[in-house]
Structure 1
Amino acid sequence: MATTTTATAVLDEAHVGTMDNVAYVVRCRTTGRRLLVDAAAEPETLLALVDGELDVVVTTHRHHDHVGALAAVVEATGARTAAGELDADELPLPVQQRLEHGDVLRVGDVVLEVVHLRGHTPGSVALLLRDADGPDHVFTGDSLFPGGVGNTFGSAEAFLQLLADVTERLFDVLDDDTVVHPGHGAPTTIGAERPHLASWRERGW
């Protein structure tokens, strides 16, 4: 488990499940209030990570490997649920907060900006945490990884939409030192991935 500290938050992560899903906890340094990004699997692990206290679970997208522990975590903590508007109806329990591009989530003193990234699923969202003391952090679900954008399942149209959204809404507005926290595997940075945008477009996936 890795821990990162920002001006307003402590970020913890846990790798869970058979697909190396990464679940992230964002904890306000002042109030202790917590947000979980993707209750993917292993509810016991996630409940230990949040120490039994949780305000909201944000699901980055509808796919089954990102929601396997959602019902159990919500039942145990009473946390509210949030997800992208266009994926919300596909989740295994009601979504109380339907997210649109440009929305803001607040957990104590922590502010997270919602970035809608269309393509991997219609309602995929990323969460951007800006940090006054260091690099910004963005939680990208399955929309951006080291080495490319997420799977668009053979759809050229969806691939071009996802690449356009990732380019315009992340690469065009974020600094190179911004840390990218994907839904699977290891983190990367905007700067590390930026030089490869043209090659991603050329290969088509």
Structure 2
Amino acid sequence: MTYSGVVKVGGPADVHELTDLMISKVAVGPMNNNAYLLRCRATGEQLLIDAANEAGTLLRLIGEDSIASVVTTHRHGDHWQALGEVVAATGARTYAGRYDAEGIEVPTDVLVEDDDTIRVGQVALTARHLTGHTPGSIALLYDDPHGAPHLFTGDCLFPGGVGNTFGDAEAFVNLLDDVETKLFAPLPDETWVYPGHGNDTALGDERPRLPEWRARGW
């Protein structure tokens, strides 16, 4: 089946099968958060991005193979409500951005810096620190050697704009600057974007709108 990235709360996961990595996307309530389960096809090791909510849903998705790690993209509570229960059930190592870890109630085992590498089996993910939505949000980049890059952006980039900066003009400029410099500038249009809520997009679909976003201020 062709991956669409369209999921709904209570519905099945959608699975994106790459050469070296399988990406399973599921939506959980009550805020329609996306969680992503990454599985290294060579080793079977798994990593979860954002244990947002509905621990039972996430644990069923994880299955008997368990997970080695959970990455929390940022400190906002809707992205880690199930983290404690998932970690208790799996013993997974926790990762979060250095400047957001203090706002996450579940202890962070590994503080992530800009450009750090996080591994799932033989697959390497590169962290990109993005400021503005929160002080320590991180995006995760999988630079697929067999095709286009894949980018997990948390709440920093969505179809149609960057994440909410809550009316703070300086924070908006910081976020858009980081997104332009660290995501759009080095990565090609074909880069697949997996956001923290809603449907996927591609950098090429959003790139022409960057001047519009800056002009409107959100």
Do the structures match in fold with TM over 0.5?
yes
Q: How many residues align?
A: 205
CA distance in 2 between partners of 1:6 and 1:173 (Å): 22
Gaps of 5+ in 2: 1-12
Alignment of 1:163-178 (within 5 A): 163-178=176-191
Tell me the equivalent position of 1:128: 141
Tell me the equivalent position of 1:11: 23
**Residue 104 in structure 1 maps to residue 120 in structure 2:** no
4+ residue runs over 2 A deviation: none
Q: Deviations over 1:158-204 (max 9, x none)?
A: 00000000000000011101100000000000000000000000000
CA distance in 1 between partners of 2:188 and 2:14 (Å): 22
Tell me the equivalent position of 1:50: 62
More displaced, 36-45 or 131-140? 131-140
Alignment of 1:1-205 (within 5 A): 1-52=13-64, 53-205=66-218
The one-letter amino acid paired with 1:156 is A
TM-superposed CA distance for 1:18, in Å, is 1.3
CA distance in 2 between partners of 1:102 and 1:176 (Å): 21
CA distance in 2 between partners of 1:68 and 1:49 (Å): 16
The one-letter amino acid paired with 2:32 is D
CA distance in 2 between partners of 1:83 and 1:196 (Å): 30
Q: Deviations over 1:49-83 (max 9, x none)?
A: 11140111000000010011000000000001000
Cα RMSD for the two superposed structures: 0.7
TM-superposed CA distance for 1:132, in Å, is 1.8
Gaps of 5+ in 1: none
TM-superposed CA distance for 1:115, in Å, is 0.4
The one-letter amino acid paired with 1:33 is E
What SS is found at the alignment partner of 1:115?
A: strand
TM-superposed CA distance for 1:6, in Å, is 1.9
The one-letter amino acid paired with 1:38 is D
More displaced, 174-183 or 131-140? 131-140
CA distance in 1 between partners of 2:29 and 2:94 (Å): 21
% same residue? 54
The one-letter amino acid paired with 1:150 is G
The one-letter amino acid paired with 1:12 is S
The one-letter amino acid paired with 1:4 is H
The one-letter amino acid paired with 1:44 is G
TM-superposed CA distance for 1:135, in Å, is 1.6
TM-superposed CA distance for 1:7, in Å, is 2.7
TM-superposed CA distance for 1:2, in Å, is 1.0
